[in-house]
Amino acid sequence: MEIQKSNHLQKVITLDGPAGSGKSTIAKMLAEEMGYYHADSGAIYRAYTFAVIQEIGLLESPEIFGDVFLKSNIDIEKYPIGVYFKDKTQIIEYNKQVINDYLRTRELTERIKYIADNINVRKKVNHILRNLANQYPLVVDGRDMGTEVFPESSYKFYLDASIEVRAQRRLEEYLQSKNSHGILLEEIKKEIQQRDEYDKNRKIGALKIPSDAIIIDTSNLTRNMVLNLILAYLQKKF
């Protein structure tokens, strides 16, 4: 399904939702189906976390890392991070070196929230995303894409799912990786509940449902079913 491309910000398609709702996976599928580009906002926040780690190190714990970062008054603008697309794949560089393969480590994941909560980082990432939207037709996913980053978009979706379903999805992801270490479903459910509470109460970039978004509960739907629902809606809108 090839839909006419546009560089206008109102043509950006936003997918927001809580962790484990399937928004990133659907965003990739949707972009591929439409001939759009998938902008992974989370990966850009991870890139800035990577950059801070290069400067101050991992330190003894995520909490100490966050405390040192908060007190360091680091100038985010100085980091040589570049974001672009190659063959419709988002490429992120640090100091002109591609770092995509270094952005999913457990150590980085444990520290990203301290970077993502920084207002200067958020302003920078939002600027990058809006700049990309002026160059490419985008599908973007996150927590505040439709409320804060692209409020003028005419195509907003909010994906949700029950905690039980999201926990099971996350468990399956862990089991496919090398980092499962006997983790239990109940532990993941507790983590997701805590994450939901944290995300909804962030001072900046909080998880919210855009007032004009189409809400889709993905709990009992396959990926293709969710994709087809979105495509059917876009077919009418476009």
Taken in order 149, 122, 200, 218, the sign of the CA dihedral is positive
Whether the Cβ atoms of residue 211 and residue 182 lie closer than 8 Å to each other: no
Residue 4 has pLDDT above 80, yes or no: no
Share of the chain above pLDDT 90, in %: 66
Alpha carbon 2 to chain centroid distance? 24
Number of H helices, E strands in the chain: 9, 8
Per-residue pLDDT of 86-120, as tens digits, reads 999 999 999 999 999 899 887 888 898 899 989 99
Q: What is the pLDDT of residue 209?
A: 94
Q: What is the pLDDT of residue 203?
A: 81
Instruction: For residues 144 and 209, give the distance between their C-alpha atoms in angstroms, rounded to a whole number.
Output: 8
CA dihedral 18, 23, 24, 25 (to 10 degrees): 130
Whether the Cβ atoms of residue 215 and residue 16 lie closer than 8 Å to each other: no
Per-residue pLDDT of 36-86, as tens digits, reads 999 999 899 999 999 999 999 999 999 999 999 999 989 999 999 999 999
Alpha carbon 88 to chain centroid distance? 17
Give the Å distances, CA to CA, from 109 to 7, 97, 113.
32, 20, 8
Q: What is the pLDDT of residue 107?
A: 86
Q: What is the pLDDT of residue 178?
A: 55
Phi-psi region of 22 (alpha: psi -120 to 50; beta: other; left: phi over 0): left
Residue 6 has pLDDT above 70, yes or no: no
Fold held by 6-36+138-238 = Rossmann fold (3.40.50)
Residue 197 has pLDDT above 70, yes or no: yes
Query: What's domain 41-136's superfamily in CATH?
Result: P-loop containing nucleotide triphosphate hydrolases (3.40.50.300)
Domains 6-36+138-238 and 41-136 share a fold: yes
Residue 1 has pLDDT above 50, yes or no: no
Question: Residue holding tokens 């079913």?
Answer: 225
Residue 180 has pLDDT above 60, yes or no: no
Residue 3 has pLDDT above 70, yes or no: no
Per-residue pLDDT of 116-148, as tens digits, reads 989 999 999 999 999 999 999 999 999 999 999
More confident residue, 122 or 4: 122
Instruction: For residues 237 and 119, give the distance between their C-alpha atoms in angstroms, rounded to a whole number.
Output: 34
Taking the domains of the chain in order of start, what are their residue ranges? Answer: 6-36+138-238, 41-136
In sequence order, what DSSP letters do the residues of 9-78 get, joined into one string? GGG-EEEE--TTSSHHHHHHHHHHHHT-EEEEHHHHHHHHHHHHHHHH---SSHHHHHHHHHHHT--GGG
